Structure 1
Amino acid sequence: MGGKKESVQQLDDTYSASQDALSLLAENAELSDQDGRGVAFRRAAAVMKSLPEPVTSMTQLRGLPCLGEHSLRVIRDVLENGASREVESMKQSKQYKALKVLTGVFGVGAKTAARWIREGIHTLHQLRNSGHTLNRAQQAGLEHYDDLNQQVSKAEAEAIQQIVEEVVASVLPGAKVTLTGGFRRGKLMGHDVDFLITHPEEGKEVGLMSKVVSWLESQGFLLYQKTTRNSYLVSDDSPALPPSNMDRFERCLSIFKLAQDQPHRAKQLGALPLDTAEHRRGDSGLQTDQDSCSQRIQTPGGQEDTKPWRAVRVDLVVSPISQFAFAVLGWTGSKLFERELRRWAGQEKAMSLSSHALYDNKKRKYLQASSEEEIFAHLDLEFIPPSERNA
């Protein structure tokens, strides 16, 4: 009996190793700015993940889509040897390690990382001593590197949500805050936290973001923030934007200062008007940078004690209610699921889908939707709940 359990475990481990190997190849391609290869490996990994039982023979994969020669070669290697030699070699390569480290800096993309590597920069220490002038995002990313490369728990995301909801409600009663991304798909851990904000009355959301950001900044919640305006313009006779995972909503990319006692502190916000004298003085009763959110504390021995807060990546996005269903769908993900959904809309339905709208290219008109279910219905698809969109 024990031998049977051990055999099943070995099958599961091999099955998982195949998915992991393909995912690592996808990651390496994306880090190397080879998005096409990255998508191919992501699709192959998704196919493996969707199979009802572990793969024990290559014959089980005959006729399956999205499994190219390269992916099949990797899977065969895992089945025969327990691991992919190509992937193991890649993981040990200086290039891969450097790309992982440098793109882990908030504000640094694949192209910037590749340029630094060509200049001989492979570590954070080398970057700090390189003399490079970093932009504000990169400076913040380097300063808070360890925190930002640590996963965020759902409990932490919900603590931040409580803060954001209280602030939004005090600024614009009736406004709605929705936690999106992986947490909406049921994941317990994530890399960042994304919120969509709207109001049931079209146009009421205008001006909301600046007030919310101003409040969060005044209370010491934001270590970094960059806000961009809504640049989406709707055209009556054609899609304003091509189908893409990029959108043009008003957005605040931020690094949030999350205190260990954040849930308790969230209750202190109350519903103070944004323009009160107390808010202008930063004296709303909420603890600020100068108290519980202090930096690392020096112990008598000169060593740093654990700081009572951590930095977390948080995106705030404001959407008009008319576009909210599309925004929720787009921001829920996963990236591969969204890509395939847009591909289906374009190739099978002659429609253009974005996080703003769905446009019927044959009828030459936008299709309205007030829920995700309505969008799936327009696409002649059965509704897929968020928990099943992890691709």
Structure 2
Amino acid sequence: MPLPKRPANEIYSPILKRKRSSSPNSGSDAPGKSLLKVFIIDAKLDAEVVEDLRHLIDNFGTAAGTQLQLCPSAEDAQIVITDIHMQKRIERHVNWDTAKQKAIVTPQWLRDSFESKQLLPCGEYAALRELYEETIQNCPEDSQISASNDQDFPPKAIPSSRKGAGICYNHHYSCMRYSPLICPNQKLVEKLAILRRHREVEGLDIQALGYERAISVPFPRVITTNDFHEVSELPHIGRKILSKIQDFIQHGDIPECRTILNETRYQSLVLFNTVYGIGPSTARALYSSGLRTIKDLERHYGVTSRTNDSNDNASLEHLDRSTKTGLPDLSIKVGLELREELIMRIPRSEVEEIRDVVMNELAHIRSGCVSTITGGYRRGKIESNDIDIVISHKDLKPGDDQVKGLCAELIRCLYDKRLLTHVMYLSSFREHNTLRTTHWDSLQKALTVFILPDSGKGQKRIHRRLDLIFALPEVYHTAIVGWTGSTMFERDLRLWAKEKKGMKFDSSGISRRHDSKLYFPKSEEEVFELLDLEFIEPALRNADL
């Protein structure tokens, strides 16, 4: 199943124009043909481009017999084509509730579908980030709108919300797939991760998510040229990603990855992102201002020497406020001072040692607390980037600041003993309110920098990122699931809950969307049961690199 070759930098191949058909319904009466209705929002599109798009619609046809029909309104269309990328602007042309029921794509979807003579997956062409998931779900396929040629275009399996439907590697949702820590195609995954990272640092979030979803799909064996057709039918594998996989299968590398790794801009943006407090947007702004290296950042932020003992940045005088984030520059300055230590990975033994020290100090404040180390550690990683610990107590109750008070008291204790050097963030805590569109935040989260006490054996202790999550006992197991990860696994858990169960799920609780009814699972297994999912062990939730 070879893919058509196109120049790497090609975005749009001009179409030879002809006079447009006199009727937008031309071909609709042809026997055996099925119609897919398309609406074009011409705002931000040149008249010449609109004419080209109409020409493609008039002449579109797939092997399955599907034709396109230009539609006079978005309400009647299945596909909406637009070059608008903001919700407020799209609402000038399409009601938002209507937009959620359509596949809203860029013009490139039509061009690429026309060229390949098939309806391509819409995800990587989604025009609006806010409607990415809806665009995927509403994207039509030949199998959905044509009754002919089923053998050539078999309908993809529709995920069932019934518990026990079966976990399989090609399921649409990663929360219905086993994802081990190391997969058979790890080298390919690492190459795709470079492309994902490149899109992420460049602010191309929709494209980055497309690669992230593709990476999350496990294939049960090492891919060879004989497997290419089967790979092409996996969920979230679009035409562009297929071409990258084909390059890797045939040549053992992806040329675009080599190009990206040699780019000074990419190297600088990734380097800047290693500083705690610098995200992709800030990194791009710093690069645009002429900065290229860590030394440049240090001069820019006035970091002349490490000042760990001063702890000016860790002042706890505002712990009684609902949030504590500090000034952005202050956070970045701390990140620069501690960067070389914070980027060092943490072995499992040290993760456990830090947990023991924290819980020992907490026991002096309040005995009987329980805790679970979550994150990559719980998924089986040999080394972690940071440490996440979920903490609770059977007697904690909402409404009287017990969670917030216990969290603040522990932070003060660790700080006074010089174990905690910086508090970078302290989250809010809100009680349940039935009038809220989202359920209450039943967690208190403190994102900190921690250092173990001197062992007296000449072992150098270094700073580590430590996140402490205090949960009410009724949401303790929900918090454990939500903080175990991986990122894509959690994303699909939320998506599954919304689309299949009409529920809202995140680490702070589970509620029913239509009436805000709250659910309090008594175990991690019960969290999955409430969501009608088969239980997946933490070690098989590694749906990311």
Common fold by TM > 0.5? yes
| d(CA) in 2 for partners of 1:372, 1:238 | 26
8 Å Cα contact 2:403/2:444 also seen in 1: no
Q: Secondary structure at the match of 2:434?
A: coil
Q: Could you tell me how far 1:140 is from its partner in structure 2?
A: 1.6
8 Å Cα contact 1:222/1:255 also seen in 2: yes
**As a proportion of its length, which structure holds more helix?**
1
1:366 aligns with 2:534: no
Cα 1:375/1:71, change in 2 over 3 Å: same
Q: Could you tell me how far 1:382 is from its partner in structure 2?
A: 0.8
Which amino acid in structure 1 is aligned with residue 224 of structure 2?
Answer: T
Indicate the residue corresponding to 1:54 in structure 2: 222
| d(CA) in 1 for partners of 2:199, 2:343 | 20
Cα 1:193/1:13, change in 2 over 3 Å: closer
Indicate the residue corresponding to 1:250 in structure 2: 444
1:209 aligns with 2:361: no
8 Å Cα contact 2:390/2:468 also seen in 1: yes
> Could you tell me the percent identity over the aligned residues?
28
Indicate the residue corresponding to 2:176 in structure 1: none
8 Å Cα contact 1:239/1:359 also seen in 2: no
Q: Could you tell me how far 1:257 is from its partner in structure 2?
A: 1.5
| d(CA) in 1 for partners of 2:470, 2:536 | 24
| d(CA) in 1 for partners of 2:245, 2:530 | 37
Instruction: State which of 129, 147, 150 in structure 1 corresponds to 2:344.
Output: 150
Cα 1:92/1:208, change in 2 over 3 Å: same
Indicate the residue corresponding to 2:385 in structure 1: 191
Which amino acid in structure 1 is aligned with residue 234 of structure 2?
Answer: L
8 Å Cα contact 2:388/2:467 also seen in 1: yes
Indicate the residue corresponding to 2:478 in structure 1: 326
8 Å Cα contact 1:43/1:66 also seen in 2: yes
8 Å Cα contact 1:250/1:317 also seen in 2: yes
1:311 aligns with 2:481: no
Instruction: State which of 266, 269, 291 in structure 2 corresponds to 1:121.
Output: 291
| d(CA) in 2 for partners of 1:145, 1:131 | 14
Indicate the residue corresponding to 1:278 in structure 2: none
Q: Could you tell me how far 1:364 is from its partner in structure 2?
A: 4.6
8 Å Cα contact 2:425/2:446 also seen in 1: yes
1:17 aligns with 2:215: no
TM-score, normalising length: structure 1: 0.79
| d(CA) in 1 for partners of 2:453, 2:510 | 40
Greater C-alpha Rg: 2
1:380 aligns with 2:532: yes
Instruction: State which of 219, 233, 239 in structure 1 corresponds to 2:417.
Output: 219
8 Å Cα contact 2:201/2:270 also seen in 1: yes
Which amino acid in structure 1 is aligned with residue 534 of structure 2?
Answer: E
| d(CA) in 1 for partners of 2:427, 2:264 | 40
| d(CA) in 2 for partners of 1:16, 1:308 | 34
| d(CA) in 2 for partners of 1:195, 1:345 | 25
Which amino acid in structure 2 is aligned with residue 349 of structure 1?
Answer: K
Q: Could you tell me how far 1:39 is from its partner in structure 2?
A: 1.8
Q: Could you tell me how far 1:233 is from its partner in structure 2?
A: 3.5
Cα deviations across residues 121-162 of structure 1 (Å, max 9, x unaligned)? 111101112256973321221111111111111111111011
Which amino acid in structure 2 is aligned with residue 337 of structure 1?
Answer: F
Cα deviations across residues 276-319 of structure 1 (Å, max 9, x unaligned)? xxxxxxxxxxxxxxxx69xxxxxxxxxxxx98221111111111
Tell me whether 358-367 or 90-99 shows the greater mean CA deviation. Answer: 358-367
Which amino acid in structure 1 is aligned with residue 237 of structure 2?
Answer: L
Q: Secondary structure at the match of 1:251?
A: strand
| d(CA) in 2 for partners of 1:359, 1:225 | 31
8 Å Cα contact 1:230/1:248 also seen in 2: no
Instruction: State which of 39, 46, 49 in structure 1 corresponds to 2:209.
Output: 39
Q: Could you tell me how far 1:214 is from its partner in structure 2?
A: 1.2
| d(CA) in 2 for partners of 1:172, 1:131 | 41
Q: Secondary structure at the match of 1:45?
A: helix
Cα deviations across residues 96-116 of structure 1 (Å, max 9, x unaligned)? 111111111111111111100
| d(CA) in 1 for partners of 2:469, 2:433 | 22
Q: Secondary structure at the match of 1:201?
A: coil
Q: Secondary structure at the match of 1:144?
A: helix
Indicate the residue corresponding to 2:112 in structure 1: none
TM-score, normalising length: structure 2: 0.57
8 Å Cα contact 2:446/2:468 also seen in 1: yes
Q: Secondary structure at the match of 1:73?
A: helix
8 Å Cα contact 2:371/2:391 also seen in 1: yes
Q: Could you tell me how far 1:13 is from its partner in structure 2?
A: 11
Q: Could you tell me how far 1:239 is from its partner in structure 2?
A: 4.6
1:182 aligns with 2:372: no
Q: Secondary structure at the match of 1:258?
A: coil
Indicate the residue corresponding to 2:253 in structure 1: 83
Cα deviations across residues 234-271 of structure 1 (Å, max 9, x unaligned)? 233665259xxxx673222111113563xxxxxxxxxx
Cα 1:116/1:132, change in 2 over 3 Å: farther
1:29 aligns with 2:181: no
Instruction: State which of 217, 234, 241 in structure 2 corresponds to 1:71.
Output: 241
Q: Give the paired residue count.
A: 332
1:111 aligns with 2:281: yes
Q: Which runs of 5+ in 2 are unaligned?
A: 1-181, 304-327
Instruction: State which of 359, 364, 374 in structure 2 corresponds to 1:170.
Output: 364
Q: Could you tell me how far 1:362 is from its partner in structure 2?
A: 4.5
8 Å Cα contact 2:184/2:220 also seen in 1: no
Indicate the residue corresponding to 2:172 in structure 1: none
8 Å Cα contact 1:17/1:78 also seen in 2: no
How large is the Cα RMSD of the aligned pairs?
2.4
8 Å Cα contact 1:14/1:79 also seen in 2: no
Cα 1:131/1:354, change in 2 over 3 Å: closer
8 Å Cα contact 1:24/1:87 also seen in 2: yes
Indicate the residue corresponding to 1:344 in structure 2: 496
Tell me whether 372-381 or 22-31 shows the greater mean CA deviation. Answer: 22-31
Moved over 6 A (4+): none
Which amino acid in structure 1 is aligned with residue 214 of structure 2?
Answer: A
| d(CA) in 2 for partners of 1:131, 1:209 | 31
8 Å Cα contact 2:232/2:242 also seen in 1: no
Q: Secondary structure at the match of 2:504?
A: strand
Q: Which runs of 5+ in 1 are unaligned?
A: 1-11, 262-291, 294-305
